[in-house]
Every structure is written in structure tokens, then in C-alpha cells.
Amino acid sequence: MKLANKTVLVTGGSKGIGRACVLAFATEGANVIANYARDEAAAKTVVAEAEKLGVKAIALQADITKSDEVERMFAEISKSFSSIDVLINNAGIFDEDDNPENLSVFEKIFATNFLAQIRVTNHSRKMMKQGKIIFISSVHGTLGHAKPTTVAYSSMKIALDQYMKTLAKELAPDILVNTISPGQTHTPQWGEMSENYMKERAEAHLINRWIEADEIADGAVFLAKNDAVCGEILVIDGGMSLKVLG
């Protein structure tokens, strides 16, 4: 699939991996919709950068855990675009207090990292005849409950991987559905980090460094262009899985 003039919706497009995806698709000539939850300034900045690349770009606020906000977002999208060609289900959260004793955090992560992905997908499907759906999961879905990942996060990512496969079977051949599973990626998600933590986590990968957000966005562009990959998980983890498995 050629991406020029296609319409790409990126959830959580204001920061980190989502932001890198917005800019990577804009570089390919696609029109981009950057969804965000709270940080309007960051969303406006990425949209301004995308516009400089000569494409149509809009920022749309919607907390994807809230059905009324998601409905409003899709109403806005349909005013400006006749279809969605690529959906990148990227928005997601990580919570330091994620542990089996903390069910309120579990519910929050379930609502954001799993249920909201289905909500956005259901809305998007109504605007997609052909195209691509890409989920951003995590290697910790398959690697399991290991620091710094915790139980709700890992569980919701593996649930997302299973949902992707079911959806891939249902929507092929018109819409191809795939997932990217990143290793630890240098984004605002991690906040301020000590030098020790940066080094320790870099060494968790065979490449001995963190992954950059644009390296994940490269994978998303590949999956969007390719018409033969279907129902797969593209692991971009710098060898973290191999290192963990020993």
C-alpha cells in the first residue's frame, strides 16, 4: 500500500512512540490524526511539525477510556476525512503501582491498554474499507511478569496480542491487522531516569541500548506498506527477549 494521501489515526500521537509514528507517516505523505488525552501543547507541536511536511494534520483530544469522548473524536474525524486507512492503536499506560494487590490500578490498565483499544478499533472499522490496523503491544506480554513490567501491564498486552489475531482472521483480506512488540523504548513514559537505571535497562537488550521511538515507527510504516504480513507480531526489542530467555 502506498501511504501518500492516505489517512492515518494514531492514538496517543502527542508523545513517545505515537509522536514518532505521526511524523514517520507524515514523512511518507500521509495525512495524520494525532489523538491525545491531556497534553494539548504536545499534540499541537507534533501536528505543526507534520504540517511542515506538506500533509494535512489534526490533533484531536479524547481519553480513549471514555466512550463519549471517543464518539466525539470520531464525529470530528468524519467531518474532515472520508475514511481511515491506517489505525495505530498506540496509546497506553504503565503504572509503577501495578501489582496483584492493587486492583484499582489493574482496572485502570485493563480500561486503557485493552478495552479502549477495542473501543477505538470498533469505531475505526466503520470508516475503513481497506487498510491496516497496527497494535503497539510489548515484549513483556510474552516475557511475562518481570521488572520493570508488572502483572496487569503484561496481562493486558498478551490479551491484546490474542485480540489482534482474532481480528486479523475476521478482517483479512481487506484490512490487515498486526502488532509491534517493542522492547524498552526511550519515551516520556519513563520520566526522569537516573544514569544507573538508564544503564541497567540498556544492558537488558543485546544491542546494549534503549530503543528509539522512531525505530518503532519504522516498523509501523513497514507494516502499513506491506500487503502480505497478516496476524503477526513484529518484535522490535533489540534482542531483549533472547537475553531474558538466556
Ligand X SMILES: NC(=O)c1ccc[n+]([C@@H]2O[C@H](COP(=O)([O-])OP(=O)(O)OC[C@H]3O[C@@H](n4cnc5c(N)ncnc54)[C@H](OP(=O)(O)O)[C@@H]3O)[C@@H](O)[C@H]2O)c1
Interacting residue ranges for ligand X, rule: CB under 6 A: 11-12, 14-18, 35-39, 42, 63-65, 90-93, 112, 136, 138, 182, 184-185, 187-189
Query: Smallest distance from the beta carbon of 140 to ligand X, in angstroms?
Result: 7
First-to-last CA distance in the chain? 38
Pick between residue 51 and residue 212 the one whose CB is nearest to ligand X. 212
Cell of 91: 496509546
Pick between residue 97 and residue 227 the one whose CB is nearest to ligand X. 97
Q: How far apart are CA 34 and CA 23, in angstroms?
A: 10
Pick between residue 147 and residue 227 the one whose CB is nearest to ligand X. 147
Query: Smallest distance from the beta carbon of 65 to ligand X, in angstroms?
Result: 5
Cell of 111: 480500561
Pick between residue 173 and residue 191 the one whose CB is nearest to ligand X. 191
Evaluate the omega torsion of the peptide bond into residue 173 and state whether it is cis, within 30 degrees of 0: yes
Exposure string of 129-140, with b = 16+ CB inside 10 Å and e = fewer, is eebbbbbbbbbb
Is the distance from CB of 203 to CB of 184 less than 8 angstroms? Answer: no
Pairing of strands 175-182, 233-236: parallel
Q: How far apart are CA 9 and CA 88, in angstroms?
A: 6
Q: How far apart are CA 89 and CA 73, in angstroms?
A: 15
Pick between residue 70 and residue 171 the one whose CB is nearest to ligand X. 70
Query: Smallest distance from the beta carbon of 100 to ligand X, in angstroms?
Result: 19
Is the distance from CB of 138 to CB of 181 less than 8 angstroms? Answer: yes
Query: Smallest distance from the beta carbon of 11 to ligand X, in angstroms?
Result: 6
Query: Smallest distance from the beta carbon of 173 to ligand X, in angstroms?
Result: 27
Q: Exactly one of 36, 153, 163, 197 is catalytic; which is it? A: 153
Q: Is 153 a catalytic residue?
A: yes
Residues labelled as active-site residues? 153
